[in-house]
C-alpha cells in the first residue's frame, strides 16, 4: 500500500477545503499540504451556490448589525463569540477572494456591489451576478494551483480517519481510479466535506453531498452538534429541487399564492416589513401554511407557490439573475421574464455538524473541521442566507492556521501502526466490493431512507413521526451492513463508492432523527406541531450526539451567550 | 412516458480489450434529461455502469458525454429531443478509464500550465494604489469586468476538447478551455501576467495550432465562446512579440 506523508491533510475540495489549503500553504511554505477529494475540486458543491456571500461593505453597516442579524437568525442558539469573530473576519476574507480574481459584480464607482438578502438589515451580500458559488470555487481552485506545496489527491474517497493515542494522524483513502487504498498521513487533518442533504429526497444538494466528513468524525468518537437543524430553502424547483436563489427576492421578487396575493404581506407570518426578505425558516413555514390553507397550486411534483419576477423586467433579470433565467427555462420550462416560477421549500443546508471550537478544532487532537461539515456554531437553529460561503472562508482559514501551529509541535506517529489501520480498512472495503452474498439493494435502501427522513424531519415535525424516524433509521443501520453489490471491478467502481456513501448517510440520518426527536420545542428550523414555542428554560443548549453501538448517545453543550440577550424572534 | 433503447459504451480495462456497446430498453419520462436515463439504468437495471455526475443543474461540469455522436452536458440535454435509440459514449478525444468515465490528467495539466491566477508584478505592500484604501479590494469598472467576464464562465466540462478537430489530431494541443482561461486572466484589469502567458501562448501546440473551426464555441453549454478567446489571444501574442522586436524589454510600458 502507498504511504505518503504530509503536514496537513485536508479532506474535501470545496470552498472551505481550498481556503484551508491556501492558508496552510501560505502560512508555512515548507509544509506539505494534501488536498484529498472524492471529486475534482471544481466539481465540489460550492459550485451551486448562487446568491452571494455576506460581509460588511457599506457605510450604514457594522459588526454590531451583522452580528445581531446572525444571532437573531439563529434563534439565539449560535455561539456569540464565534459570530463576533466571523463578522469581524468576513470583510477581510472576501477582499482576499476579490484579490484572487473572483469576478464580483461592481458598483458604478468600481467598488464591489452588495445586494439585499433575507434577515439582513442592510445590503451586505457580495455577489457575482447569481453564480457566486461557481466563481468563488473556481477562483479559489485556480489560485490554489500557484502553491507547489499543495499536493492534490483528486478522486480519492476517504473512508477512515487514522488515529493513534487519541490523536488524528491521517486518513485511509480509496483511489477511485485504481481501486487501491492509500495511507495518507498528516500531523493534522481538516474535514471540509460539506453537508449531507442527499439523505433527503427533495434537496438542492448535488449527489456528492452524503455527509462523509460528519460520519468519519462521528465513527471516530467525535460528537456531532445540533444535527436536528436542517434548513429548508423556500424556493426550489418542484421535481428536481434545483435551487432558485434568495437573490431573486433580494432583487425585488415576490412570493404569491394561488389568489395572486403576496401572502407574506397579506397574512401575519412574523416576518413583518421584511416580507419576502424574512429569514428562510419563517418563509418556508409560510409557504407550507399557504399550501395547507388551500392557497397553493397543485402540480405533478407536489404543491407549490409562485415566485414572481415578471415586474423586474428583462434587463434586470438578465444582468442580475441570468442563471435563474437559464435554470427556470431548462428545468421547468418557464421564462421568469413573462411567467412566475413554481417553487416549494427544499432541503438546502445542515446547520449542525462536527462539533468544533472557534478555531475549527474538534475535541480530538489533530482533527479540525470547517464549512458545512462543521458546527462552530454561527448558524444555530437557522442560518441566514449568504453567511455560509463566508463561513467556509473564515473558518477554513482559521482551522488551517491552528492546524499548522498544531502540526509543528506534534509527532509524526508510528507509521507501521497507522498503516496497519489503513490495511484493515482496505480489507473491509475489499470485502464489500462485488459482495454478492448481501441481501439489500443500494437504490432501495436509499429510497427508504429518503422517505423516512422526509416524513420525520420536514419543515413541520411532531413526536409521533419523529419517533418513527428514530426507529426506522436504526433499522436501516442494520440493513445497510448487508448490501448486495454487483460490480467486481476495481477500476472506477462507483457502486462501491455509493455503498460507502450510503453507510455514511444512514449514520448521519439516524443522528439527525434522534437529535430532532429529543428537542421538544420549536426553535429556528426545528418546528414541532406539538411543542410550538421556543423553550429557553429547558433547551437553550447545543445537542451533542456521540457514537455508540446501540445508537447515538445525546449530551449537551452550553451556548456561548453575550451581549445579545435571547428575546422573542419577531421581524 | 416512452420506452427507449439507451446504448451505453462499456469498458473495464481489467476485462475488455476495447470498448463495447450495451443496450438497455427502459421506460423514459417525458421531462427527463439524458443524465436521468443513465442514472435510472445505474440505479434500477445495471449498477455496474460507471459515470460521473453531481449538481444536475449545469454548473459542476461533471457529466459531459457524447450523445448520438455530439458532446453534450447530459444534465442539460433533453432526452425527448432524441429518437428511439440514444447512443451514449464517453467524451471523445480523451483516454477512457471505464465506461463513460474519461481521464482528466492531460486536461488538468493544460489548465494549470496557463497560470490561471492573478499575477501581480509588484509586491502587495507597494500595490495599494489600485485598491480601495480600507477594504483592500481592487477598483474594477463594470466595463473592465465585462472585458473578461464571459471567459470566466467556463465550467471545465471539456466538451470543447471533444469537439475540437485539432485536439483529435494533436492530443497535446493546449485546447479551447485552457486558452480561454489564460486569456480571461490576461483581460482582467487586476492581472499583470499577460507577458508570461503570451510567452506560453507562443509555444508549440498553443494558439497558433488552432484551425479556427469554431466547433468549441458551438458545443459550449455556457456560451463562453472559446474560439473568440483563442483568436484574441493569437492577436495579443503576436502584438506582444512584435513589440519585443522593436522595443527593449518587451515594451510593455
| Chain B interface mutation, best of A142, A157, A202, A239, highest count of B Cβ atoms under 10 Å | A142
Helices (H), A269-335: 280-292, 314-320, 322-332
Is residue B227 within 8 Å of B214, Cβ to Cβ? yes
A276-279's contacts with Cβ under 8 Å and 24+ in sequence apart are A276/A118, A276/A249, A277/A116, A277/A117, A277/A118, A277/A119, A277/A120, A277/A249, A277/A250, A278/A118, A278/A119, A278/A571, A279/A73, A279/A118, A279/A119, A279/A382, A279/A384, A279/A571
Residue range A478-493: mean pLDDT, rounded = 97
Q: Which of residues 51-90 of B touch A (CB under 8 A)?
A: 51-62, 76
Q: Is the pLDDT of residue B244 over 90?
A: no
Position B128 pLDDT exceeds 60: no
CA distances to A51, A527, B115 from A252, in Å: 13, 28, 39
Say if the Cβ atoms of B57 and A240 lie within 8 Å.
yes
pLDDT at residue A482 tops 70: yes
The pLDDT of residue A555: 98
- Section A509-519 average pLDDT: 98
Q: Would you say A212 and A202 are in contact if contact means Cβ atoms under 8 Å apart?
A: no
From the list A207, A327, A492, the residue facing B97 with the nearest CB is A492
Better pLDDT: B79 or B211: B79
Please tell me the predicted confidence (pLDDT) of residue A435.
96
Give the mean pLDDT of A85-112.
Answer: 97
Dist CA B111 CA B108 (whole Å): 5
Is B117 in contact with A143 (Cβ distance < 8 A)? yes
- The ipTM (two decimal places) reads 0.97
**For A100, nearest residue in chain B (alpha carbons):** B118
How confident is the model over A466-473, as a mean pLDDT?
A: 98
- The average pLDDT across A103-127 equals 97
Query: What pLDDT is attached to residue B133?
Result: 67
pLDDT at B251: 42
Q: How confident is the model at residue B248 (pLDDT cuts 50, 70, 90)?
A: low
Identify the burial level of B131 via C-beta atoms within 10 angstroms of its C-beta, where 0-12 means exposed, 13-18 middle and 19 or more buried: middle
pLDDT at B253: 39
Mean pLDDT on B147-169: 97
Residue B250 is predicted with a pLDDT of: 45
Name the residue of chain B whose CA is nearest to A145's CA. B112
Do residue A145 and residue B191 have CB atoms under 8 angstroms apart?
A: no
| Yes or no: domain A234-346 corresponds to CATH 3.90.700.10 | yes
pLDDT in tens, B163-193: 999 999 999 999 999 999 999 999 999 999 9
Contact, A98 vs B138, CB < 8 A?
Answer: yes
Q: Mean pLDDT over residues A205-230, rounded?
A: 98
- Residues A447-464 as b or e (16 or more Cβ within 10 Å = b): ebbbebbbebbbbebeee
Q: Domain coordinates of chain A in residue numbers?
A: 234-346, 436-539
According to the model, what pLDDT value does residue B243 have? 78
pLDDT surpasses 80 at B122:
no
Assess whether pLDDT exceeds 50 at residue A407: yes
Torsion region of A52: left, alpha or beta (phi above 0 gives left; psi -120 to 50 gives alpha): left
- The cell numbers describing A392, all together, are 467556509
Which range has the worst mean pLDDT, A13-22, A336-345, A360-369, A410-419?
A: A410-419
Q: Which domains does chain B show, CATH number per domain?
A: 2-101 (3.10.20.30), 104-251 (1.10.1060.10)
CATH architecture designation of domain A436-539: Up-down Bundle (1.20)
pLDDT at A395: 98
pLDDT recorded at residue B124: 53
CB contact under 8 A, A106 and B142: yes
pLDDT, position A411: 82
The count of CB pairs under 8 A between chains A and B is 148
Average pLDDT of chain B?
92
Amino acid at each position: 500500500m502507498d504511504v505518503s506523508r504530509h503536514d496537513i491533510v485536508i479532506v474535501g475540495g470545496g470552498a472551505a477545503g481550498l481556503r484551508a489549503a491556501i492558508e496552510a500553504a501560505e502560512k508555512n511554505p515548507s509544509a506539505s499540504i494534501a488536498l484529498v477529494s472524492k471529486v475534482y475540486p471544481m466539481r465540489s458543491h460550492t459550485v451551486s451556490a448562487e446568491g452571494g456571500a455576506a460581509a460588511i461593505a457599506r457605510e450604514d453597516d457594522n459588526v454590531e448589525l451583522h452580528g445581531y442579524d446572525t444571532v437573531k437568525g439563529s434563534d439565539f442558539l449560535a455561539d456569540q463569540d464565534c459570530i463576533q469573530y466571523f463578522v469581524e473576519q468576513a470583510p477581510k476574507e472576501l477582499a482576499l477572494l476579490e484579490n484572487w480574481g473572483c469576478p464580483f459584480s461592481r458598483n458604478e464607482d468600481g467598488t464591489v456591489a452588495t445586494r439585499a438578502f433575507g434577515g439582513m438589515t442592510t445590503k451586505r451580500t457580495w455577489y457575482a451576478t447569481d453564480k457566486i458559488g461557481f466563481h468563488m470555487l473556481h477562483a479559489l481552485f485556480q489560485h490554489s494551483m500557484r502553491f507547489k506545496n499543495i499536493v492534490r489527491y483528486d478522486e480519492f474517497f476517504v473512508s477512515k480517519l487514522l488515529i493513534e493515542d487519541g490523536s488524528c494522524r491521517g486518513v485511509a483513502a480509496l483511489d477511485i481510479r485504481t481501486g487501491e487504498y492509500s495511507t495518507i498521513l498528516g500531523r493534522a487533518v481538516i474535514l471540509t466535506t460539506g453537508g449531507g442533504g442527499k439523505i433527503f429526497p427533495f434537496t438542492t444538494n448535488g449527489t456528492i453531498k452524503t455527509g462523509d466528513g460528519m460520519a468519519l468524525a462521528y465513527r471516530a468518537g467525535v460528537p456531532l452538534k445540533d444535527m436536528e437543524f436542517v434548513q429548508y430553502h423556500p424556493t426550489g424547483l418542484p421535481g428536481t429541487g434545483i435551487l432558485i436563489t434568495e437573490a431573486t427576492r433580494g432583487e425585488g421578487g415576490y412570493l404569491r399564492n394561488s389568489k395572486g396575493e403576496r401572502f407574506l404581506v397579506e397574512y401575519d407570518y412574523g416576518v413583518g416589513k421584511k416580507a419576502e426578505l424574512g429569514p428562510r425558516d419563517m418563509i418556508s413555514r409560510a409557504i407550507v401554511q399557504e399550501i395547507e390553507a388551500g392557497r397553493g397550486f397543485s402540480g405533478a411534483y407536489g404543491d407549490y407557490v409562485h415566485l414572481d419576477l415578471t415586474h423586474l423586467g428583462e434587463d434586470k433579470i438578465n444582468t442580475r439573475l441570468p442563471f435563474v433565467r437559464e435554470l427556470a427555462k431548462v428545468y421547468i420550462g418557464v421564462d421568469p421574464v413573462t411567467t412566475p416560477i413554481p417553487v416549494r421549500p427544499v432541503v438546502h443546508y445542515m446547520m449542525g455538524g462536527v462539533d468544533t471550537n472557534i478555531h475549527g478544532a474538534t475535541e480530538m487532537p489533530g482533527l479540525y473541521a470547517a464549512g458545512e461539515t462543521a458546527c462552530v456554531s454561527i448558524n444555530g437553529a437557522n442560518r441566514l442566507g449568504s453567511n455560509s460561503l463566508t463561513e467556509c472562508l473564515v473558518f477554513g482559514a482559521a482551522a488551517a492556521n491552528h492546524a499548522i501551529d498544531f502540526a509543528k509541535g506534534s509527532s509524526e506517529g508510528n507509521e507501521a501502526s497507522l498503516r496497519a489501520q489503513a490495511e484493515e480498512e482496505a480489507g473491509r472495503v475489499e470485502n464489500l466490493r462485488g459482495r454478492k452474498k448481501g441481501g439489500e439493494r443500494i437504490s432501495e435502501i436509499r429510497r427508504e431512507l429518503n422517505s423516512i427522513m422526509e416524513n420525520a424531519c420536514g419543515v413541520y415535525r411532531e413526536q409521533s413521526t419523529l419517533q418513527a424516524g428514530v426507529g426506522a433509521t436504526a433499522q436501516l443501520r442494520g440493513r445497510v451492513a448487508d448490501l448486495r453489490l454487483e460490480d467486481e471491478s476495481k477500476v472506477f467502481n462507483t457502486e462501491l463508492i455509493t455503498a460507502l456513501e450510503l453507510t455514511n448517510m444512514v449514520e448521519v440520518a439516524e443522528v439527525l432523527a434522534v437529535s430532532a426527536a429529543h428537542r421538544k420545542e420549536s426553535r429556528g428550523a426545528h418546528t414541532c406541531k406539538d411543542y410550538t414555542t421556543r423553550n429557553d428554560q429547558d433547551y437553550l443548549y447545543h445537542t451533542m450526539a456521540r457514537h455508540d453501538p446501540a445508537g447515538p448517545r445525546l449530551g449537551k453543550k452550553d451556548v456561548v451567550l453575550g451581549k445579545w440577550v435571547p428575546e422573542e424572534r419577531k421581524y | 412516458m416512452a420506452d427507449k433503447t439507451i446504448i451505453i459504451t462499456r469498458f473495464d480495462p481489467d476485462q475488455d480489450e476495447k470498448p463495447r456497446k450495451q443496450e438497455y430498453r427502459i421506460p423514459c419520462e417525458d421531462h427527463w434529461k439524458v443524465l436521468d436515463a443513465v442514472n435510472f439504468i445505474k440505479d434500477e437495471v445495471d449498477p455496474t455502469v460507471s459515470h460521473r455526475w453531481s449538481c444536475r443543474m449545469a454548473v459542476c461540469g461533471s457529466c459531459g458525454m457524447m450523445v448520438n455522436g455530439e458532446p453534450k452536458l447530459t444534465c442539460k440535454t433533453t432526452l425527448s429531443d432524441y429518437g428511439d435509440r440514444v447512443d451514449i459514449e464517453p467524451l471523445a478525444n480523451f483516454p477512457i478509464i471505464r465506461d463513460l468515465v474519461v481521464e482528466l490528467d492531460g486536461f488538468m495539466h493544460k489548465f494549470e500550465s496557463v497560470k490561471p491566477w492573478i499575477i501581480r508584478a509588484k509586491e502587495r505592500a507597494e500595490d495599494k494604489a489600485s485598491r480601495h484604501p480600507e477594504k483592500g479590494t481592487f477598483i474594477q469598472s463594470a466595463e473592465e469586468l465585462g472585458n473578461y467576464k464571459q471567459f470566466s464562465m467556463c465550467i471545465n466540462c471539456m466538451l470543447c476538447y471533444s469537439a475540437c478537430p485539432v485536439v483529435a489530431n494533436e492530443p497535446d494541443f493546449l485546447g479551447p478551455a485552457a486558452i480561454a482561461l489564460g486569456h480571461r486572466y490576461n483581460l482582467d484589469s487586476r492581472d499583470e501576467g499577460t507577458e508570461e502567458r503570451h510567452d506560453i501562448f507562443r509555444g508549440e501546440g498553443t494558439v497558433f495550432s488552432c484551425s479556427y473551426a469554431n466547433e468549441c464555441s458551438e458545443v459550449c453549454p455556457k456560451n463562453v465562446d472559446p474560439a473568440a478567446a483563442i483568436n484574441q489571444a493569437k492577436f495579443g501574442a503576436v502584438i506582444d512579440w512584435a513589440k519585443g522586436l522593436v522595443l527593449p524589454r518587451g515594451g510593455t510600458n
